[in-house]
Structure 1
């Protein structure tokens, strides 16, 4: 039986708006974490979306 962790804190990603949960690697900097992934942090995902919407 897998151990589930239901009491981990969550935040909403500032780039994509999706919820994400606490990870051990963020233990020391959880208060400063704003993005769910490196892709959201770099902003490349949003740039690609706006490029696709504009038809370029």
Structure 2
């Protein structure tokens, strides 16, 4: 493969890779496992507080 073709192939590959990275990082966003765990904790606390709010207050 001539050097000019290799250079243009490399430039095309670079452009595609940069587009993928922009899409993953910018449009899709962070995929942090800790963020998912935190979301589960929040949902659990919301469910517990909702359940507590629907119970009669027996302290009186």
| TM-score category (smaller protein) | under 0.3
More helix as a share of residues: 2
- Whose Rg is larger? 2
